[in-house]
Amino acid sequence: MSQIHPTAIVDSTAVIADGAVVGPWSVVGPNVTLSAGVVLKSHVVVQQDTSIGANTVVHPFALVGGDPQHLGYKGETVRLEIGENNIIREHATLNRGTPQGSGVTKLGNNCLLMTGAHIGHDCVVEDNVTMANNATLGGHAHVGSRTFLGGLCAVHQNARVGQGAIVGGLAAVTRDVIPYGSVWGNHARLRGLNIIGLKRKGYGKDDLRRLLAFYRDLFEGEGAFSERLETVAATYGDLPEIVEILDFIRDGAKRPLCLPNAE
C-alpha cells in the first residue's frame, strides 16, 4: 500500500503506486503519477501533469512540475517526466515544458539535484547527472549523462553540455560544452578535458595521451578550425569518445561552441 500522511493533499486524478510515500503537508496535484518507492519527504509540491519514476526521493520544499517560466505560457497541458532513483533536494525546482518547445521537460535516472537546483522548461537532463547547489538550467538546455554542474553555475537557454563534462562553480555557460570538456569562468571557457571523469570511466594512460593530443591539435593547432576538425577526425577517429566529440561539434546547434578563447 501507499502511505499518504493525513495532512497531505492528493488530487483525485493522481495515481499513487503501492509503496509510494507522500509525507506531511505535501501536495500532489492533478494528473500526477508516483511510481513504487517514490518518497515525498514533507512539504513537497508536485504541482500537476508530472510522472516520477520508481525510488526517487524528493526532499522538503521542492517544487516539482511547476508552470514554465515563460510569458507565452497560457495554461496549456505540458508535462514533466522524471526517471528512477533520483534524489531531489530541498528547494529544487523543476518546471514543465511549453507548447512552444517540446511540451515536456525530462530528467533521467540516478541523478542528484542538490539544494536549490533549477531545471527550466523543455530541458533534457540525461542519466547520472549531478547538479550542485543552485546550479541552474535555462529553458531548452540539454545536459548529457555523467555530467557534473558546479554550484551556482548557470547554463544559457538552448545550450548543450555534452556527456561526461564538468562545469565549474559560478560558471556562466553561454556556449555549448563538448563531451568530456572541463569549463569554468564568467563567461565560461574551455580549460581542457575532464581527465578525472575519463579515468573513472576506465581510460588508461595510452588512450588519455591520445585524447590530450587530439585536444591540442583541435583547439591549439594552426590553421582554420574547420580544417583542424577534418585533420583530427582522420587522425584520431578510432576512439569512440573522440567520434562523439566530433559529432557533437558538427551537430546543428543553437549556441556557439565554448572554446579556450571564448569571451
pLDDT digit string, tens, across residues 124-179: 999 999 999 999 999 999 999 999 999 999 999 999 999 999 999 999 999 999 99
Q: What is the pLDDT of residue 256?
A: 94
Q: What per-residue string of b and e applies to 175-189 under the rule 16 or more CB within 10 Å gives b?
A: bbbbbbbbbbeeebb
Q: What is the arithmetic mean of pLDDT over 209-236?
A: 95
Pick from 99-108, 111-120, 251-260: least confident: 251-260
Q: What is the pLDDT of residue 134?
A: 98
Residues involved in catalysis? 121-122, 139
Q: Which three cell numbers stand for residue 68?
A: 514554465
Between 136 and 263, whose confidence is greater?
A: 136
**Neighbour count for residue 235 (Cβ, 10 Å):** 14
Q: What is the pTM of this model?
A: 0.97
- Cα–Cα distance for residue pair 191/255, rounded to 1 Å: 18
Going by C-alpha positions, the residue among 33, 67, 251, 260 that lies closest to residue 142 is 251
Q: What is the arithmetic mean of pLDDT over 170-197?
A: 97
Place of cell 563534462: 165
CB 108 within 8 A of CB 127: yes
Q: What is the pLDDT of residue 262?
A: 55
Residue by residue, DSSP assigns the chain as: --EE-TT-EE-TT-EE-TT-EE-TT-EE-TTEEE-TT-EE-SS-EE-SSEEE-TT-EE-TT-EEEEPPS-TT--S---EEEE-SS-EE-TT-EEE---TTTTSEEEE-SS-EE-TT-EE-TT-EE-TT-EE-TT-EE-TT-EE-TT-EE-TT-EE-TT-EE-TT-EE-TT-EE-SBB-TTEEEETTTTEEEEE-HHHHHHTT--HHHHHHHHHHHHHHHSSSS-HHHHHHHHHHHHTTSHHHHHHHHHHHS--SSPBP-TT--
Q: Which three cell numbers stand for residue 64?
A: 516539482
Domain edges within the chain = 3-140, 198-250
The CATH label, of 3.40.395.10, 2.60.120.10, 3.40.50.1370, 2.160.10.10, for the domain at 3-140 is 2.160.10.10
Q: What is the arithmetic mean of pLDDT over 219-246?
A: 94
Going by C-alpha positions, the residue among 156, 148, 145, 149 that lies closest to residue 134 is 149
Query: Is the confidence at residue 1, as pLDDT, over 90?
Result: no
Q: What is the arithmetic mean of pLDDT over 206-230?
A: 95
Express as a percent the part of the chain with pLDDT over 90.
96
pLDDT digit string, tens, across residues 49-105: 999 999 999 999 999 999 999 999 999 999 999 999 999 999 999 999 999 999 999
Q: Does the fold of domain 198-250 match that of domain 3-140? A: no
Q: Report the CATH number of the 198-250 domain.
A: 1.20.1180
